[in-house]
Amino acid sequence: MPVLRDADLASAFNHAARSYDTLVAANPGYHAHLRRSARRLGLPRSGPAPRVLDLGCGTGASTAALAAVLPGADITAVDASAGMLRRAARRPWPRPVRFVHAPVEELAEAGVRGPFDAVFAAYLLRNTADPDGVLAGAYRMLAPGGRLAVHEYALSGRAAHRAVWNTVCGGLLLPVATLLGDGPLYRHLWRSVVT
């Protein structure tokens, strides 16, 4: 099975957007872990509003974590999938969020301009063809002394963790996703964690 990349991956996320949040909810720590990573940015909660760039925002779970932890932040959220971005934009936001439809490699062309006090990238690098290029682009968006948080996980070690992941994916996520017509995307996501 080929790995999904770039336009094919964005298209798969477009199709899966309608059920993505429901299936992600099968991971009970998903939202709490995003908030923890947002707190680890260490940005002040008072004073001037920090400018934060959320790369690969998907349906807005990472954006919501940033908004919860940094209620005064000026957030720009970017994603290559128009379907995921539409879901994110429909959430009730306590403050306006700027949503930009663009691949992370084309931020300048999409009118996204730094500097940002922080760049947050959750579950993004596994879905890019050039992770080093994405990181270099994120670094260029940062203000001097700005902070970058990359929120990812992989199960390359403990057999017990891999067994749980494989059981949840094989017994729940992959069959449901396949019934919804999103099997290739979830097989890609499953493999991205175990490799």
Between CA 165 and CA 81 the distance in angstroms is 26
Q: Say if residues 77 and 89 touch (Cβ distance below 8 Å).
A: no
- Asked, for residue 5, whether it belongs to a domain, the answer is no
Neighbouring C-alpha atoms within 13 Å toward the C-beta of 36:
7
CA angle centred on 83, ends 98 and 16, rounded to 5°: 135
- Asked, for residue 127, whether it belongs to a domain, the answer is yes
- Asked, for residue 40, whether it belongs to a domain, the answer is yes
- Asked, for residue 175, whether it belongs to a domain, the answer is no
Count the domains in the chain: 1
| Span 139-146, average pLDDT | 96
What does the CA dihedral 108, 118, 10, 112 come to, rounded to 10 degrees?
A: -20
Give the model confidence (pLDDT) of 69-114 as tens digits. Answer: 999 999 999 999 999 999 999 999 999 999 999 999 899 999 999 9
State the CATH number of the domain containing residue 65: 3.40.50.150
| pTM across the whole model | 0.91
- Asked, for residue 116, whether it belongs to a domain, the answer is yes
- pLDDT score for 1: 46
Q: Which domain holds residue 116?
A: 28-151
- Asked, for residue 32, whether it belongs to a domain, the answer is yes
Whether the predicted pLDDT of 166 surpasses 90: no
